[in-house]
Structure 1
Amino acid sequence: MYLTRFRVNTARAGARYLLSSPQRLHAALLAGFPGLPVDPEARPRILWRLDHGDRTDVQVYLVGPDRPDLTALVEQAGWPTLATPEAPGWETRHYQPFLRRLAKGDRWSFRLAANPVHSIRRKDGEPTKRTAHVSPRHQLGWLLKQQEKHGFELLPGAAPDAEDPLHRYAVVVHGRRDLSFRKRPGDPAPPPAGRKGSGSRGGPVTLVTTVFSGRLEITDPAALRHALTQGIGRGKAYGCGLLTLAPQE
């Protein structure tokens, strides 16, 4: 496995074109992995996430089974005049050595872009329907339900006894985005949560995403390794599901 960071040059028209659609950016990132199967169901998992530091500081984080070649992406949306053989416009590192070092009880800062959803039934007897969580409190509730399955526990915040979970845990819920686009032929099936229309090929798709930033403790290293390489939740083709760790500040 490899972890890659790519800095986007937001002043370029090509970058703005890709950033305007998660489908376009997903396709551009997949193009950096030669030899991938055409069938989406046969492809290995490729995870990615857009991090917005400010208006001009936008970076893509990418996790995949092979080392990518993002030369074409640099030409379209990066900094080609600054590229050198030693620094081609992106940074890629082997991920496995880091993954092997993870141990129970370790504490890390984390970031996760996700599509928090839940199942509801409007009337008795109707089938359940997946619906997006839209408030920070409910989105955090979704994340709390992911902890045991994915091998981590959110650390307490500044007010661990607070009634409001938004103050109880060391996590910030931010960066909500309401995405809307049309599914194109060959795209993976969109997640049903928040979807409008019939969902047929070419139909409109809406997707609510949010970002979680905070601190966690590892409870199950194997489960967390799986989450780091296979993602959490739905909408992975659209920039959701990638969890990354960093040393605590």
Structure 2
Amino acid sequence: MTLYLSRLTPHPASRQAQQELGAGTHHGSLHRRVMSLFPDGVAEQARAHFGILFRVEDTPRGSHLLMQSNQPPDPRRLPAQYGTLTTRPLADLLDALEPGLTLHFRCTASPVRKPGHTTRAHYNLPAVVPLNGAAADDWWQRQADNAGLKVLTLHSRPVDAARDWQYPTGTAPADRARNSNRIHHHRVRFDGTAAVIDPDLLRTAIRNGIGRGKAYGCGLLSIAPAPAPA
């Protein structure tokens, strides 16, 4: 399956774009903006149907959105003067993967563990425990192993959690406050280098994403060729 990587750079004069893609982004509204760039008519699991993964990249020159999908997003669906959308296929990059190749990687993911009922009761733990520091790094090492990668270097840092409110479809605005569920995805950004062990596993991980919270800016695994270590 062909994959595409798109970059959406907000127009400096668009307040709407700056709000949706800027620091402290409300990820529910960003998810809706991303989904609006793809055809209507997919009743359920539209994000999975189009293979959509995304994350906001914060740079000294401002924020932009990276988005991966199995068909190109339509720039005509953006509001006027919202921003610039550029798209390129990933086929050449994915076809070039082979064992031993050294890569740079980046992934903003939601590292958590889900303790069993007995452990939760004994230690009074929540159903989902966010991981930080060495525990988050260990989590990433396991994800990398499952993705056919051998981690060579790793740097991780926490980023703002993704937050939203979820309520049943069709809920009237006046009823949303009492019928909504709070969504919170703890997030950590992982950067580093790795050697490819299994190209097919890596292609699958890139296509499917890593971990939970994919509708809220988590799980997009980006790679780029890196010089082999001396």
TM (normalized to structure 1)? 0.76
- Output the amino acid matched with 2:193: R
- Output the amino acid matched with 1:178: A
CA drift at 1:48: 0.6
> Unaligned regions of 5+ residues in structure 2, if any?
170-177
Relative distance call for 1:130 and 1:100 in structure 2 (3 A) is same
Cα deviation code 1:82-123 (max 9, x no counterpart): xxxxxxx22211122221111111001111010001122223
CA distance in 2 between counterparts of 1:232 and 1:36 reads 27
CA drift at 1:11: 5.3
Task: Report the number of matched residues.
Answer: 210
SS of aligned partner of 1:38: coil
CA distance in 1 between counterparts of 2:73 and 2:31 reads 13
CA drift at 1:126: 9.2
In the alignment, structure 1 residue 239 sits paired with structure 2 residue 222: no
In the alignment, structure 1 residue 13 sits paired with structure 2 residue 15: yes
- Output the amino acid matched with 1:58: S
CA distance in 2 between counterparts of 1:145 and 1:227 reads 13
Q: Which moved more, 1:97-106 or 1:228-237?
A: 97-106
Describe how 1:86-101 pairs up with structure 2 within 5 A.
89-101=84-96
In the alignment, structure 1 residue 106 sits paired with structure 2 residue 111: no
TM (normalized to structure 2)? 0.81
In the alignment, structure 1 residue 180 sits paired with structure 2 residue 180: no
CA drift at 1:243: 0.5
CA drift at 1:40: 2.1
CA distance in 2 between counterparts of 1:208 and 1:103 reads 33
Relative distance call for 1:36 and 1:212 in structure 2 (3 A) is farther
Partner of 1:71: 76
- Residue in structure 2 matching 1:2, options 4, 18, 31: 4
CA distance in 1 between counterparts of 2:193 and 2:51 reads 25
Residues 9 and 85, structure 2, Cα contact 8 Å, conserved in 1: yes
Residues 29 and 73, structure 1, Cα contact 8 Å, conserved in 2: no
Relative distance call for 1:225 and 1:36 in structure 2 (3 A) is farther
Residues 4 and 68, structure 2, Cα contact 8 Å, conserved in 1: yes
> Unaligned regions of 5+ residues in structure 1, if any?
79-88, 156-169, 187-199
**Percent identity (aligned):** 27
CA distance in 2 between counterparts of 1:147 and 1:107 reads 13
In the alignment, structure 1 residue 212 sits paired with structure 2 residue 190: yes
SS of aligned partner of 1:140: helix
Partner of 1:159: none
CA distance in 2 between counterparts of 1:8 and 1:18 reads 9
- Output the amino acid matched with 1:21: H
CA drift at 1:175: 4.4
SS of aligned partner of 2:78: helix
The CA RMSD measured in Å over matched residues stands at 2.5
CA distance in 2 between counterparts of 1:201 and 1:131 reads 25
Residues 147 and 204, structure 2, Cα contact 8 Å, conserved in 1: yes
CA distance in 2 between counterparts of 1:238 and 1:118 reads 18
Cα deviation code 1:110-152 (max 9, x no counterpart): 110100011222235999822211x222211110111221110
Cα deviation code 1:135-184 (max 9, x no counterpart): 222211110111221110111xxxxxxxxxxxxxx111124212332114
CA drift at 1:60: 1.1
